[in-house]
Amino acid sequence: MERQFDHAARLLRDAYRGESIAPLRAFLEPLDIDGAYAVQAINTRYWIDQGRRLVGRKIGATAKAVQRQFGIDQPDFGALFADMRIDDGGVLDPATVTQPRAEAEIAFLLGRDLADPDLSLDDVAAAIDGAMAAIEIVDSRITGWKITLSDTIADNGSSAFFILGTEVRSPIGLDLYSCGMVTEINGEIVSVGAGAACFDHPYKSVRWLARTLALNGEPLRAGDILLSGALGPMVALTPGDEVRTRIGGLGTCTFTYGA
């Protein structure tokens, strides 16, 4: 089994060179969550050994509709590396992605460790130093996005890049439940949503992740960046697109997909 996981991890790494691959059916059953995280962990360790710097985590499958699609009742997560970050207002190089989509999220910056698996929502709120508008660029190494849950988990949560807004707000007094989100491409509205779409509240998403990682002996640490999950539908990208997200109380976040 370990050899199978190593093989799957290598196929996914190789796919970053631009050639997508078939779903991982030969290595993982569609709902083999433990196996999928084992594959993800192999690549996370590999990339760290290659010099990439882990800066946080992303949370996915936070929307109820997505969970129903996969037949699950919990989110999933992936690793964020420093070289995945694009500056607010920056450019996403089309050569670095294969089938990218964008989704608006609320990002958090942790001010203290979250190592207690029994932590409360108040503990989560107290640990957050800052909140900001964010965009995650998701991409799949699986051809045509023909993914199961195990495919996306193994593929580091179908992650690619992320952008953080430059307006970092204290979470105190923010309404992160009913705050609205609007994403525009080239000035046209393409996605709308609200904080409640993210696992009923973005703090609940963070609590789930903190508990999960604490139980795995890899707790969230002060300084970590957390992408808490999508606030609305993801949208496909075409080279030349100018993407802007605005989230109530948090400001804006923008990038351009190529020239």
Helix (H), strand (E), coil (C) string for 44-101: HHHHHHCCCCEEEEEEECCCHHHHHHHCCCCCEEEEEEHHHEECCCEEECHHHCCCCE
Question: Please, what is the end-to-end C-alpha distance for the chain in angstroms?
Answer: 44
- Superfamily of segment(s) 2-257: Fumarylacetoacetase-like, C-terminal domain (3.90.850.10)
CA dihedral 107, 109, 112, 114 (to 10 degrees): 20
Q: What string of pLDDT tens digits covers the 259 residues of the chain?
A: 678 999 999 999 999 987 899 999 989 999 899 999 999 999 999 999 999 999 999 999 888 777 776 777 789 999 999 999 999 999 999 999 999 999 999 999 999 999 999 999 999 999 999 999 999 999 999 999 999 999 999 999 999 999 999 999 999 999 999 999 999 999 999 999 999 999 999 999 999 999 999 999 999 999 999 999 999 999 999 999 999 999 999 999 999 999 6
In the chain, where the domains are located = 2-257
Q: For 223, how many CA atoms within 13 A lie in the half-sphere containing its CB?
A: 5
